[in-house]
Structure 1
Amino acid sequence: MLDAALIKECADPSLKPAIVEQFVMAAGSDDPLAITVKSGGRLILVPKAASADEALAIVRQYAGQAVVRVGLTQFPAGVGVKEPADLKPDLVDACQNLRKGTAMFAKVLRIVSKWYGNSTSKDVFPQIIEDAIYAWKTGEFEGVSVFQAEDPGGALANQEGPRADESEAETVAAGAPLQADAEPDEKKIGTAGIRVDLSRIGGQP
């Protein structure tokens, strides 16, 4: 389990500590020097790094030729980097890795949440988290490369409590083409009805 002080100091503030823990437990590692290398869907066995320098050397060796995940969050090492030499030691620093990883995961969560119409339903949110973790592991969600994709922005539902602002209808409309293009999925069928915002009913004096 992640240290609460580490989460408080290093994790992206847009994510609740419980979400950070769930994310790292499901998709990350308890070893800051953990490295996973995959090529063509196959796992490549690499030596266990005994130091940050060793870990960085292994990451640089495989980056660009294979999918390399590193550290507590199993951050995708090659994202936004053109040359292996540009990879920085902060990848294998526990705090920096958690900071980078949770910031990237928050973006993935926003992408998935937008696909769901930014639903504020507490029944839907666990499914959003599950899909976001799966997208983190695979690097894709509904045909979109989540690490390279643009951040849709906005606050995450169920992070600060239910939202019912004026931009919500616009956000749902903006996400509609994605919904139409997506392949029907048994898990998703029936969730569209939850997009209707009922929070304003009876709320006016």
Structure 2
Amino acid sequence: MLDAALIKECADPSLKPAIVEQFVQAVGSDDPLAITVRSGGRLILVPRPKTPEEAIEIVRENIGGSIVRVGLTQIPAGIGLNDASELKVDLVEPCANLRMGTAMFAKILRIVAKWYGNPTSEEVFPQLFDDAVHAWRTGKFEGESVFQAEDPGGAVAQRSEVEAEVADKAEDDASSEMPEETPIKPDDAGIRIDLTRIGGQK
């Protein structure tokens, strides 16, 4: 669970806090020093770093030819860098990682939304979100590399998870509403307990 203050201070302001939380829950890690290394579709086990400096060393060692994801948002390390020596410790610093990760995810959301024709209905958002999460995991959307792609800009209609739950609950409540029953007069009530067997046996 992400700290609300961390989201407020560090996350990309174009994303609602509930969306930031959903995003990190879907793709991220609770551990700011978490490192995931994949090579040729296989997960490579790396030692768990104890310090940010150690984490960056592990990233530098593995970045050649592998996909290395780091920190709270599991952002791919080395985007836009020419050399591993340019990697900085702030990559694993919670606030900086959240800032970079959510800014990148917001860009991916805008890419996905543009492909959908920039829908303004909040109802479409869960589908956009799922596609953006998939693009974040794979690095691609419609054959295009999303991390290197240009930001199309614009805003994405979002509905927060809370709003979504309220809307869904309202729909459920509406369908489960029973028509009001008219009160039954005592004489009209049917027999509710079968009394025929009492005293019938000797």
Report the TM-score when normalising by structure 1. 0.76
Which stretch has the larger CA shift, 59-68 or 137-146?
59-68
Structure 2 unmatched runs, 5+: 161-202
- Aligned-residue CA RMSD in angstroms? 1.2
Contact 1:37 1:62 in 2 (8 A): yes
1:15 aligns with 2:10: no
Give runs of ≥4 in structure 1 deviating > 4 Å.
none
CA–CA separation in structure 2 for the residues paired with 1:20 and 1:108: 13
CA deviations 1:64-105 (Å, max 9, x no partner) are 320000000001102101111000111010000000000000
Partner residue in 2 for 1:29: 29
CA deviations 1:17-54 (Å, max 9, x no partner) are 00000000000101000000000111000001111111
CA–CA separation in structure 1 for the residues paired with 2:75 and 2:64: 14
CA deviations 1:115-160 (Å, max 9, x no partner) are 1111122221100001001100110011010000000001122379
Contact 2:125 2:159 in 1 (8 A): no
SS in structure 2 of the partner of residue 15 of structure 1: coil
CA–CA separation in structure 1 for the residues paired with 2:43 and 2:111: 27
CA–CA separation in structure 1 for the residues paired with 2:40 and 2:121: 38
Question: Identity across aligned pairs (percent)?
Answer: 71
* Aligned amino acid, residue 28 of structure 2: G
Structure 1 unmatched runs, 5+: 161-205
Partner residue in 1 for 2:87: 87
Contact 1:15 1:159 in 2 (8 A): no
Partner residue in 2 for 1:70: 70
Highest CA radius of gyration, 1 or 2? 2
